[in-house]
A and B are shown apart, each in its own frame.
Chain A
Amino acid sequence: MKEVINSNWSTGSTSADIVIGLMLITAVMILCVAILMLKVIKFYVKESVNPTPFATPEEKEKRRLEQQALQAIKDKKPSIWTKLMQLKPLEEEKNLVMEHKFDGIAELNNPTPAWFMILFYGTIIFAIGYLLTYDVLGFGKSQEEEYIAEIEQAAESKVAFLANPANVKNAVNENNMEQSKDEAVIKNGASLFANRCTPCHGEHAEGLVGPNLTDEYWLHGGKAKDVFKTIKYGVPEKGMIAWEKSLSAQQISDLTNYVLSLKGTKPAGAKAPQGNKE
């Protein structure tokens, strides 16, 4: 059996609901009209008992002046700004002027505004709290502790990142690196090379400050794993920069593949071979 959906607002029948709604609206309208009618009757009774004479021009003028005076009093009320700054009215200024002038400069003896004193004492209390937190009670972290926390956080995120199957490529390192001849990989490696390596190895890897990378001679090994390692950790004593901080593992891998693909390209102006033939 299907249960009838019944909320507090509904009788269960749509037409009955509509009728009730209309009746409510009508009731409210009747109430409003009744109140209005009452006001009209009151006014009518008052005017019949005590009728108002038509205003003469003098009376009109008098009323205008009264209105004006009222407005003036209203204007005299301090603005929010004056209240906020706790300013005294300008007319009272003469009571505040101090007894003597300096080269014509008078000084008022206005009290310091309360908000200013709150700010002043507030910052003092804050400062005491700050010192207590960081250097007396030891609630706050020291900069060394902050640093350790930051590093730990980063290590955790990295583990989480590598745990994601989509990022497995980034798990490559100098022990599991395999050479790839995939064109997309080589192309990616080429653009990395153009950005990072040309100042030392030359535009076509012919060797400038650094060695020629296109011949068969290698200073630190020419296998994929060796090249990966050289790029990653660098050879600082010979001027080769360590790239592990600025290139991702995958980028180092791509770069390695590109460098290996250059073997035998014989660019113009190639530097003489260095290292061992491999």
Chain B
Amino acid sequence: MTEKFHYDNKIVRNFALATIIWGIVGMTIGLLIAMQLFKPAMNMGSQYTTFGRIRPLHTNAVIFAFVGNAIFMGIYYSLQRLLKARMYSDILSKIHFWGWQLIIIATVITLPLGLTTSHEYAEMEWPIDIAITIIWVVFGYNMFGTIIKRREKHMYVAIWFYIATFVTVAVLHIVNSIQLPVSAFKSYYVYAGVQDALVQWWYGHNAVAFFLTTPYLGMMYYFLPKMANRPVYSYKLSILHFWSLIFIYIWAGPHHLLYTSLPSWAQSLGVAFSVMLIAPSWGGMINGLLTLRGAWDKVREDPKLKFMVVGLTAYGMATFEGPMLAFKQINAIAHYTDWIVAHVHVGALGWNGFLTFAILYWLIPRIYNTTLYSVKLASFHFWIGTLGIIFYAVPLYFAGFTQGLMWKEFTPEGLLKYPNFLETVLQIIPMYVMRAIGGALYLTGVIVMTYNLVKTMKAGQLVANEAAEAQPLPPVYVAQGDDKKLHRMLERKPMIFMVLSLIVILIGGMIEMMPTFTIKSNIPTIASVKPYTPLELQGRDVYIREGCVNCHSQMIRPFRSETERYGEYSKAGEFVYDHPFLWGSKRTGPDLQREGGKYGNAWHYNHLYDPQTMSPGSIMPPYEWLAEQKLDTTTTRVKINAMRTLGVPYEKGYEHQANADLEQQAKAIAADLQQNNIKVKSDKEIIAIIAYLQRLGTDIKAK
């Protein structure tokens, strides 16, 4: 007495189309920002298309739109088949699909407008954050509904990974999004400085772990054995690497903050757990590659399997490189350089990209009940994609290494060999050109794939509802033999499984974060550090809006090369009023932590208005509009109030006086500019940002 039912292929198709479309969009923006790095004119003279504003658009589009939709495509396809059940609710599936697309569209609109929280890979403002939470719950509800009404006794390893993905991303997103709104599209993070940095990188690192890794491992466990028609190599290995991976990954975030003012014990935890991650990460790779044992002849002919093999290899390389980069000594050279950019792209282009392509090539012909239009074109895609990755990564490794060493080089006189930061940038510009060529090759491959898949779809007909049948689960299940073993039992209990995963990932997160939040001695206070003036606070928000943090760090590490170049190294106590922290993660330009007082106001004005005048050859785009746009001072009051709520000690009632102080400070700066023959009204945004820049790092300056 088998039951007859239908798989929902339409939702899979929709997510597949979204994957392709957003993939092209995200990668095109990537190509644009890559070109902006050697040709500032590509910023197109508009504030909506400058590097600072659209770089987050690229990362979010690729991570959450391209990879996100690919994850849902893979999960909706494999989950139904692995559980022998249609998705729990068609309506929830639809809400999930359209909700996710709307979130992406909202992001595409708001980020170029400068509405950003500045937390990397989570730049969206609070209304979008709430929408993400709701849609994520819809997805989870739909998934667990399906799992519960399944016709398969046990949950296959792919599903374990899907469950871990769901719970962890939920926790990450919520903890990282706790903000205090000040208006419909502006908010301040509740955390400040060091704590905010820790939360951000706990989130940022685990977005890589639980959005770019675990769901893909799950998909690998379904699609690879299907494509190769081979059994999965080792069930034991899947259990071991699943639990060790999710337990250990969550601790490794602080390796993004080595040599910063994060307490030393937290940094060490980050390093130690990164090293322990090698084996669990590789567990997935070897289980995949060994599944291909006895099928290597197929790999030679089938582009899908080629994509899979290169994808898995890229995963293995990136997950070996990660722990290596987490060593203090290597991190000291690589951090803030393009080395890191190359590293993440080996993962993104190789692992996520190639696995996605393989799945698309496999899945589209199946749900359209036809064969792939052209295997040759798919092969071409494979080769041009691989070439693209090589062209992308190799020059950037070289660039990162070169620049990292140049920053640290001293002359025999004891001076920096390259005191001018720009010199080190000009050195690597040819590498940036090569990288853009690599990106263009990769994108070409994707466009070829799109053509191939469209032709395939046209040749076939979508099987929107695919007939299937299976035995229902017996109402009472009596375990026998191997089914009595512990993990087998767990595989029959989805809710317990979810709670266990949750506990496993919470342990690391709690142990790392709680002490930083509760123990005062971790962040020694500095009496001379005072809150920002209203004008500086507004200027800081302009700085955030323009995405300056994408190119400039505000974290001087305790190295001779950095204190010589920038000034005294950063202390944890300096950032206690920084909601959010703005330490940055990549230096395309110099660090700005001690910028205050280094140059005159006129220098900053000229530099912002046209960077080339003050720094010939600079790749920073001109920010002319800052000198034309009026600073919005109507928000000063709510901002001061919000900051006070968050613990910044503005006196009671100061919000009423704030704008008067703001005007006074602005007038003083305008008058100083006037003396240097620069005529600008005191109510312009440029005045505020100059005020902020001149304040940076001055609180603890000697004298």
Which residues B639-679 have CB closer than 8 A to chain A? 676
User: Which one of B264, B277, B416, B615 has the highest number of Cβ atoms from chain A below 10 Å of its Cβ?
Assistant: B264
For this complex, 13 residue pairs linking A to B, each with C-beta atoms less than 8 Å apart, are: A103-B82, A105-B222, A108-B232, A119-B279, A126-B275, A134-B264, A135-B265, A147-B563, A147-B569, A150-B560, A154-B414, A157-B414, A239-B601
Q: A123-B279, A199-B613, A199-B616 are in contact. List 11 more A-B contacts (CB 8 A).
A: A102-B156, A109-B235, A109-B236, A110-B235, A110-B290, A112-B240, A116-B237, A135-B264, A135-B268, A142-B264, A154-B560
Which residue on B lies nearest to A199, using beta carbons?
B614
Binds B, one of A2-10, A33-41, A55-63, A91-99: A91-99
A residues less than 8 Å from B482 (CB atoms): 98-99
Instruction: Decide: B415 and A103 in contact? CB cutoff 8 A.
Output: no
Instruction: Decide: A245 and B560 in contact? CB cutoff 8 A.
Output: no
Given the interface pairs A106-B231, A116-B283, A151-B560, the reply to whether A124 lies near B276 with Cβ below 8 Å is: yes
Instruction: Decide: A120 and B272 in contact? CB cutoff 8 A.
Output: no
A residues less than 8 Å from B569 (CB atoms): 147
Q: Which of A112, A200, A245 is within 8 Å of B564, CB to CB?
A: A245
**Contacts across chains A and B counted by CB atoms under 8 Å:** 172
Q: Which of B81, B237, B268 is within 8 Å of A131, CB to CB?
A: B268
Instruction: Decide: B81 and A103 in contact? CB cutoff 8 A.
Output: yes
Q: With A and B bound together, what is the CA distance between A106 and B231 in angstroms?
A: 5
Which residue on B lies nearest to A200, using beta carbons?
B603
Instruction: Decide: B280 and A112 in contact? CB cutoff 8 A.
Output: no
Given the interface pairs A85-B290, A209-B600, A246-B416, the reply to whether A105 lies near B226 with Cβ below 8 Å is: yes
Q: Which of A97, A104, A248 is within 8 Å of B415, CB to CB?
A: A248
Scan B545-576; emit 1 where CB is below 8 A from any A CB, else 0: 00000000000011110011100010000000
A residues less than 8 Å from B268 (CB atoms): 130-131, 134-135
* B278 interface contact, C-beta 8 A: yes
Q: With A and B bound together, what is the CA distance between A123 and B603 in angstroms?
A: 51
Instruction: Decide: A239 and B410 in contact? CB cutoff 8 A.
Output: no
A residues less than 8 Å from B276 (CB atoms): 123-124, 127
* A74 interface contact, C-beta 8 A: no
A residues less than 8 Å from B139 (CB atoms): none
Which residues A12-39 have CB closer than 8 A to chain B? none
Instruction: Decide: A209 and B286 in contact? CB cutoff 8 A.
Output: no
A residues less than 8 Å from B157 (CB atoms): 107
* A50 interface contact, C-beta 8 A: no
* B606 interface contact, C-beta 8 A: yes
Instruction: Decide: A102 and B259 in contact? CB cutoff 8 A.
Output: no
* A182 interface contact, C-beta 8 A: no
* B630 interface contact, C-beta 8 A: no
Given the interface pairs A105-B226, A110-B237, A130-B275, the reply to whether A239 lies near B602 with Cβ below 8 Å is: yes
A residues less than 8 Å from B153 (CB atoms): 100
Q: Which of B237, B282, B413 is within 8 Å of A161, CB to CB?
A: B413
Count of chain A residues with Cβ under 8 Å from any Cβ of B? Answer: 61
Q: With A and B bound together, what is the CA distance between A124 and B280 in angstroms?
A: 11
A234 to chain B, nearest CB (A): 8
Which residues B238-282 have CB closer than 8 A to chain A? 238, 240, 244, 259, 264-265, 268-269, 271-273, 275-280, 282
B residues less than 8 Å from A150 (CB atoms): 559-560
Instruction: Decide: B225 and A105 in contact? CB cutoff 8 A.
Output: yes
Given the interface pairs A119-B279, A131-B269, A245-B416, the reply to whether A239 lies near B293 with Cβ below 8 Å is: no
Q: With A and B bound together, what is the CA distance between A239 and B607 in angstroms?
A: 13
Given the interface pairs A120-B279, A239-B602, the reply to whether A112 lies near B234 with Cβ below 8 Å is: yes
A81 to chain B, nearest CB (A): 11
* A53 interface contact, C-beta 8 A: no
Instruction: Decide: B414 and A209 in contact? CB cutoff 8 A.
Output: no
B residues less than 8 Å from A107 (CB atoms): 157, 231-232, 234-235, 238
* B129 interface contact, C-beta 8 A: no
Q: With A and B bound together, what is the CA distance between A244 and B231 in angstroms?
A: 68
A residues less than 8 Å from B328 (CB atoms): 143
Q: With A and B bound together, what is the CA distance between A158 and B601 in angstroms?
A: 35
Instruction: Decide: B294 and A110 in contact? CB cutoff 8 A.
Output: no
Given the interface pairs A107-B231, A124-B276, the reply to whether A147 lies near B294 with Cβ below 8 Å is: no
Instruction: Decide: A111 and B244 in contact? CB cutoff 8 A.
Output: no
* B233 interface contact, C-beta 8 A: yes
Instruction: Decide: A102 and B420 in contact? CB cutoff 8 A.
Output: no
Which residue on B lies nearest to A155, using beta carbons?
B414
Which residue on A lies nearest to B601, using beta carbons?
A239
Which residue on B lies nearest to A245, using beta carbons?
B564
Interface residues, chain A, CB within 8 Å of chain B? 85, 87, 90, 93, 97-100, 102-113, 116, 119-120, 123-124, 126-128, 130-131, 134-135, 142-144, 146-147, 150-151, 154, 157-158, 161, 167, 170, 199-200, 209, 236-242, 245-250
* B376 interface contact, C-beta 8 A: no
Given the interface pairs A109-B236, A247-B415, the reply to whether A209 lies near B602 with Cβ below 8 Å is: yes
* B411 interface contact, C-beta 8 A: yes
Q: Which of A93, A119, A199 is within 8 Å of B231, CB to CB?
A: A93
Which residue on B lies nearest to A234, using beta carbons?
B598
A25 to chain B, nearest CB (A): 55
Instruction: Decide: B415 and A245 in contact? CB cutoff 8 A.
Output: yes
B457 to chain A, nearest CB (A): 24
Interface of A, helix, strand, loop or mixed by DSSP: helix
Q: With A and B bound together, what is the CA distance between A119 and B615 in angstroms?
A: 50
B residues less than 8 Å from A127 (CB atoms): 272-273, 275-276
Instruction: Decide: B234 and A110 in contact? CB cutoff 8 A.
Output: yes
B residues less than 8 Å from A142 (CB atoms): 264
Q: With A and B bound together, what is the CA distance between A100 and B491 in angstroms?
A: 13
Instruction: Decide: B232 and A105 in contact? CB cutoff 8 A.
Output: yes
B residues less than 8 Å from A245 (CB atoms): 415-416, 419, 564-565
Given the interface pairs A99-B482, A120-B280, A146-B558, the reply to whether A161 lies near B232 with Cβ below 8 Å is: no
Q: With A and B bound together, what is the CA distance between A240 and B81 in angstroms?
A: 70
Given the interface pairs A199-B614, A245-B416, the reply to whether A111 lies near B236 with Cβ below 8 Å is: yes
* B515 interface contact, C-beta 8 A: no
Which residue on A lies nearest to B259, using beta carbons?
A143
Which residue on B lies nearest to A153, using beta carbons?
B560
Instruction: Decide: B600 and A239 in contact? CB cutoff 8 A.
Output: yes
Q: Which of B235, B290, B294 is within 8 Å of A98, CB to CB?
A: B235
B244 to chain A, nearest CB (A): 7
* B430 interface contact, C-beta 8 A: no
B residues less than 8 Å from A240 (CB atoms): 600
A residues less than 8 Å from B154 (CB atoms): 100, 102
Q: With A and B bound together, what is the CA distance between A27 and B689 in angstroms?
A: 96
* B152 interface contact, C-beta 8 A: yes
Q: With A and B bound together, what is the CA distance between A111 and B286 in angstroms?
A: 13
B residues less than 8 Å from A106 (CB atoms): 225, 231-232
User: Which one of A87, A102, A147, A161 has the highest number of Cβ atoms from chain B below 10 Å of its Cβ?
Assistant: A102
Q: With A and B bound together, what is the CA distance between A124 and B273 in angstroms?
A: 8
* B599 interface contact, C-beta 8 A: yes
B406 to chain A, nearest CB (A): 14
Scan B396-434; emit 1 where CB is below 8 A from any A CB, else 0: 000000000000001111111001100000000000000
Q: Which of B271, B290, B602 is within 8 Å of A87, CB to CB?
A: B290
Which residue on A lies nearest to B603, using beta carbons?
A239
Q: Which of A98, A105, A161, A241 is within 8 Å of B414, CB to CB?
A: A161
Q: Which of A98, A100, A120 is within 8 Å of B244, CB to CB?
A: A120
Q: With A and B bound together, what is the CA distance between A85 and B237 in angstroms?
A: 13
Q: With A and B bound together, what is the CA distance between A60 and B273 in angstroms?
A: 65
A13 to chain B, nearest CB (A): 60
B residues less than 8 Å from A151 (CB atoms): 560
A121 to chain B, nearest CB (A): 8
Q: With A and B bound together, what is the CA distance between A153 and B190 in angstroms?
A: 42
Which residue on A lies nearest to B237, using beta carbons?
A112
* B127 interface contact, C-beta 8 A: no
Q: With A and B bound together, what is the CA distance between A98 and B157 in angstroms?
A: 14
A residues less than 8 Å from B416 (CB atoms): 245-246
Instruction: Decide: A147 and B559 in contact? CB cutoff 8 A.
Output: yes
Shortest beta-carbon contacts, A-B, top 6: A239-B600, A246-B419, A127-B272, A120-B279, A147-B558, A106-B231
Q: With A and B bound together, what is the CA distance between A110 and B615 in angstroms?
A: 62
A112 to chain B, nearest CB (A): 5
